[in-house]
Amino acid sequence: MHGATGRVVFVGAGPGDPDLITLRGWRILCEADVVLYDSLVDARLLEDLDAELVFVGKRCGDHHMPQEAITELLVRFARDGRRVVRLKGGDPTVLGRTGEEALRLSQLGIPFEIVPGVSSAVAAPALAGIPVTHRGVADAVCILSAHRQEDEPELSIPPYHPRTTLVLLMALQTVGTWSPQLLERGYPADLPVAFVNAGATARQRVVVTTVARAAADARSAALDSPTLAVVGRVVSLRDKLAAYEGALLRSRHEDAPVMHMLAFTAGGAREESCPS
């Protein structure tokens, strides 16, 4: 597909397990000429693709490639007439900087599409036995980054409401900052907090603590990235729902999944391997 201007598709890879990519996301990934992928993308999604693979991952304190350079790569590949997939962990529009990249493409008249993904903000807690809403317990969810911009004095933590669940992404390294801010905004010291480490993967770990103990317990648990934090009364539901967590994760990861896509036809659905 060289000559005419190509297109860029932003695809959410899901929260960890490669089986959790959407059907449309998987089909478009299989059709790509070039894939720019992030550090949280499971490598099994990239196996056997007939595409050029470009790693552009960013982790806290370790940016493999500056954001501006990533955006210009998208522009260059699309102008070369290639089908470009920008593959991001979770949902591409949830703290994934997709808006910045898409705005640049829009300015230059380069066609693009956004394929939503399953966000770790809701999937990782769910797989840890913590629904982010629950009738009579929580009817609102606030998802926020646990990292502030250099010109911002504090995080965007809302005032406490007993029926609101907070989900802080990239929460580990700044727990010493956001946990005191929770107390300042009226969050009870004994309000439950759950750290979900490596959610939706075979390495998933969960540490349950409180607002007052969050920083100390995160350190003693020796967690690493990626880790998110769930703050709110829904964390207490884990006591009853977590009994299914181990069996669920084992069943999903005992055998490395073979990636398929369902091709819908007039006669129904069938499984197909990624085209070679």
Catalytic residues: 38, 58
What Å distances lie between residue 23 and 9, 13, 49, 118, CA to CA?
14, 11, 16, 11
Write the single-letter amino acid at 229.
A
Report residue 101 as tokens.
């990249």
Q: How far is CA 101 from CA 46, 48, 112, 121, in A?
A: 22, 27, 10, 22
Bridge partner residues of 228 (DSSP): 196
